[in-house]
Chains A and B, each alone.
Chain A
Amino acid sequence: MTARLTGFLVVVALQFAILGSVIGYKGYTVATGETVLLKVVPVDPRSLFQGDYVNLAFDISRLDRTDKQDGVPLYGGRKVYVELVRGDDGYWRLVGVHDKIEPVADGRVLLKGAVTSDAFAPPGDTTVRVEYGIEQVYVPERSGRAIETSRAELGLEVKVDRFGNGVARRIFIDGQPYDLRQRP
C-alpha cells in the first residue's frame, strides 16, 4: 500500500468519523435527555434547498432585554440557560434564566440558547430573541404550510441532556403526536 493511498484512506476515515459524530452528538442527547414539551407557534415554513420545514417559536423565544440574568444584561451573541418546569397542562414553562450551567431542583431542566440579533426590532421593544437549536423541524414536502396555518394547539417534544443541549423530536397537534410520514 502506497503512502498516498494510506493517507487517502486515513482522511476518508476522518471524514466518516466527522459524519458519524454529527449523528452521535445528537444521539447522546436523545438517548440520555429529559423529555420536555414546549408550546409552539410555527412561522416561516419551507426552504427551497432543504425541502419543507417549519420554523418554530416558543414562549421562551423572547426574553426581556432589561432583565439582568445573574447580574449580566442580555445582548446579542450571549449564551443563556433557561430553567424550565413542567406545568399542569403538560407544557414546560420558564422559571429562570442563568448565564451558566448549574444544578437545578428535581423536575426542572436547563435548556441552552443564544441571544440573536435584534437590530431590526421595532423601537421600544425591550425583548431579545433567543434560539435554542430546536426551531427547525423538517416535515414532508408541502405539509409545512398546512402545519403553519393549522388552528390546532401545537407543541414540540424536545430531549434536553444534562449539558442543556436540546434536540427536537416530535410535533404534537392538539396533544397528539404528528406522524411525519403523513400529510395533514
Chain B
Amino acid sequence: MICAPAARAVRLGPVATFISILGAIVLGTGVVFFFASNWQLLPAWFKVALVFVSTAVAYAAGYLLQFRSTVLPRVGAALIFLGALLFQAGIFLLAQIFNMPVNSPIALLLGAAGILPLAYVVGSRVVLALAIVDALAWLGWQLFNRYPEPPQVFAVPLMYILAGIVVYCASHWHRLRAGANSFASVYEMLGLAAMLIPVYALSYGGFWESAQRSDLDQLRVPFWFPATVALALAAAASLMLGRRDDRVVWAEAFAFGAIALCVALVAYVRGWADGYALLFNGVYFGLALLACVRGYLEGEARFVNLGIPAIAIGLVTRYFDTFWDLLPRSAFYIIGGLVLLAVAAGLERLRRRLLSNIGGAGGGMATEARP
C-alpha cells in the first residue's frame, strides 16, 4: 500500500516532467531571442562559440543530472531536451550569421538527423518527438518547395498521409524490441496526427473544387511516388509481424493498407475528384473511430483522448460545411449551438465511459513519468 506522501510524489512526477520541459522550451526561446536582438553587437566568432558552448553546457549538465545524480533526473532530462532545442536553433542561427537563407528545409532535416540518435542514446521520448516533428516538418517544407504550384501542390497532403502510416507502423517495430518499447507511443501519436490532419484537409469539398480548377488532370505524379505507396503498404503489412492473432492489429493493417491505396487512387485517377471529399470523410471518421476502438480494446487511454476530439472536430466541421448556406443565420447558430452542446455532452460521456472501462482516465502517456 502506498502511503499518502508517496502517492503524492508519484502524482507529482509527471507534473515535474512537464514543468521541466516547459522550462527548457522557455529557456531555449530566450536564448534565440537573445541572439536575435543582440546579434549586431556580437562578433561572428563569439556568436558561433556561443552556439557550441550553450549546447555543450546544456548536454553536459543534463547528462550529469539525469544519469550521474539521483536527485534531479527529470531536470537533467529537460536539460538534454534543451540541448537538442539549442542544436536545432543553432543550425538556423549559424545560417543567419553567414547570410544563408533560413527559410531552407534542409536545416530541419539536419536537425532531425542529429536529434534522432540522441533520443535513442538517452532514452528520451520528448527528444524523439522533437526529431520526428523535425522530420515531418522537413518533408512538408521540402515538398512545398519542390511542388509549389497547383496542381502538384495537392500531392503534399497525400505524401503526409503515407508518411503518417510509416511513422505509425514504426511503433510496432519498437514494440517488438523490449528495450525500445517505451518509444512506441510517440510514433503512434505522431503518426496518427500526421495522417489525421491531411485527411481532415482532404475531407473538404472546397479543396477538391480548387483542385479541379487548377487542372488536376495535369497532375504529374513524381517518379518516386509509387515507391512511397509501396513503402506505406509494406509498413502496414509489417504490423502483422509477431501479432497475427490480434484482431486490432488486423484491423489496423487493413485500414492503413486501404488508406495507402486510396492515396494512390487519388494520385492516378483524377476523374473521380467529385467523390474524393466523401471518400476522405470516410477515411477521417474511420481513422478516428479506429483510434477509439484500439484505445478501448487495448486499454490505452491516449488513443481515446485523440480519437474522440477528432470525431467531434469532424462533426462540427461537417455541420458548418453543410448547413452554412442552407439555413438562415439565426437558425444556423441556434441549432448549431444546441447540436454542439449535445455532441460535446455525448462524446464526453462516451469518452469517460471508455476511459473508466480501460481503468483510469490518466492512462497511457499521461501516467508515464519518463520524459
Given known pairs A133-B101, A138-B39, the reply for A15 and B149 (CB within 8 Å) is: no
Picked from A22, A53, A180, the residue with its CB within 8 Å of the CB of B94 is A22
Asked if B117 contacts A14 (CB within 8 A), the reply is yes
Q: Does B102 contact A (CB under 8 A)?
A: yes
Asked if A141 contacts B37 (CB within 8 A), the reply is yes
Picked from B56, B121, B148, the residue with its CB within 8 Å of the CB of A117 is B148
Within 8 A of B (CB), among A123-149: 131, 133-141
Q: Across the interface, which residues of B come within 8 angstroms of A75, CB to CB?
A: 149
Q: Does B307 contact A (CB under 8 A)?
A: no
Asked if A76 contacts B147 (CB within 8 A), the reply is yes
Given known pairs A16-B52, A23-B98, the reply for A180 and B40 (CB within 8 Å) is: yes
Q: Across the interface, which residues of A come within 8 angstroms of B118, CB to CB?
A: 8, 11-12, 15
Picked from A8, A11, A50, the residue with its CB within 8 Å of the CB of B114 is A11
Instruction: Give a binary string over A45-68; 1 marks a CB under 8 Å from any B CB, 0 the rest.
Output: 000011101000000000000000
CA distance A50 to B99 in the complex (A): 11
Given known pairs A18-B113, A19-B94, the reply for A167 and B121 (CB within 8 Å) is: no
Asked if B101 contacts A22 (CB within 8 A), the reply is no
Chain B proximity of A14: nearest CB distance (Å): 6
Closest-by-CB residue of B relative to A51 is B36
Asked if B110 contacts A5 (CB within 8 A), the reply is no
Q: Across the interface, which residues of B come within 8 angstroms of A26, CB to CB?
A: 98-100
Closest-by-CB residue of B relative to A121 is B149
Closest-by-CB residue of A relative to B84 is A15
Chain A proximity of B98: nearest CB distance (Å): 5
CA distance A181 to B40 in the complex (A): 6
Chain B contributes a number of interface residues (CB within 8 A of A) equal to 47
Asked if A49 contacts B36 (CB within 8 A), the reply is yes
Asked if A19 contacts B101 (CB within 8 A), the reply is no
Within 8 A of B (CB), among A22-58: 22-23, 26-27, 49-51, 53
Q: Across the interface, which residues of B come within 8 angstroms of A169, CB to CB?
A: 99
CA distance A10 to B101 in the complex (A): 29
Q: Does A118 contact B (CB under 8 A)?
A: yes
Q: Does B183 contact A (CB under 8 A)?
A: no
Closest-by-CB residue of A relative to B123 is A4
Q: Does B367 contact A (CB under 8 A)?
A: no
Q: Across the interface, which residues of A come within 8 angstroms of B152, CB to CB?
A: 76-77
Chain B proximity of A103: nearest CB distance (Å): 27
Picked from A11, A22, A119, A140, the residue with its CB within 8 Å of the CB of B149 is A119
Instruction: Give a binary string over B93-107; 1 marks a CB under 8 Å from any A CB, 0 the rest.
Output: 011111111111001
Q: Does A80 contact B (CB under 8 A)?
A: no
CA distance A51 to B92 in the complex (A): 13
Q: Does A116 contact B (CB under 8 A)?
A: yes
Closest-by-CB residue of A relative to B111 is A18
Asked if A136 contacts B110 (CB within 8 A), the reply is no
Q: Which of B35, B40, B90 has the most CB of A within 10 A?
A: B40
Q: Does A87 contact B (CB under 8 A)?
A: no
CA distance A133 to B100 in the complex (A): 7
Chain A proximity of B338: nearest CB distance (Å): 40
Q: Across the interface, which residues of A come within 8 angstroms of B35, CB to CB?
A: 51
Within 8 A of B (CB), among A101-119: 114, 116-119
Instruction: Give a binary string over B266-302; 1 marks a CB under 8 Å from any A CB, 0 the rest.
Output: 0000000000000000000000000000000000000
Q: Across the interface, which residues of A come within 8 angstroms of B103, CB to CB?
A: 136
Q: Does B208 contact A (CB under 8 A)?
A: no
Closest-by-CB residue of A relative to B39 is A51
Chain B proximity of A18: nearest CB distance (Å): 5
Asked if A23 contacts B94 (CB within 8 A), the reply is yes
Q: Across the interface, which residues of B come within 8 angstroms of A71, CB to CB?
A: none
CA distance A4 to B122 in the complex (A): 7
Q: Does A168 contact B (CB under 8 A)?
A: yes
Q: Does B63 contact A (CB under 8 A)?
A: yes
Closest-by-CB residue of A relative to B214 is A119
Picked from B67, B110, B146, B147, the residue with its CB within 8 Å of the CB of A22 is B110
Chain B proximity of A181: nearest CB distance (Å): 7
Q: Does A7 contact B (CB under 8 A)?
A: yes
Asked if A15 contacts B99 (CB within 8 A), the reply is no
Q: Please give me the 7 A-B residue pairs with the lowest Cβ-Cβ distance, nearest first.
A: A117-B148, A76-B149, A140-B40, A76-B148, A15-B114, A7-B121, A168-B99
Pairs across A and B, CB under 8 Å, 16 listed? A8-B63, A18-B87, A19-B51, A19-B91, A22-B91, A22-B100, A22-B110, A51-B35, A51-B37, A76-B147, A117-B148, A117-B149, A133-B104, A136-B103, A138-B96, A141-B40
A residues near B (Cβ < 8 Å) are 4-5, 7-8, 10-12, 14-16, 18-19, 21-23, 26-27, 49-51, 53, 75-77, 114, 116-119, 131, 133-141, 167-169, 180-181
B residues near A (Cβ < 8 Å) are 32-33, 35-37, 39-40, 48, 51-52, 55-56, 59, 63, 67, 87, 90-92, 94-104, 107, 110, 113-115, 117-118, 121-122, 145-150, 152-153
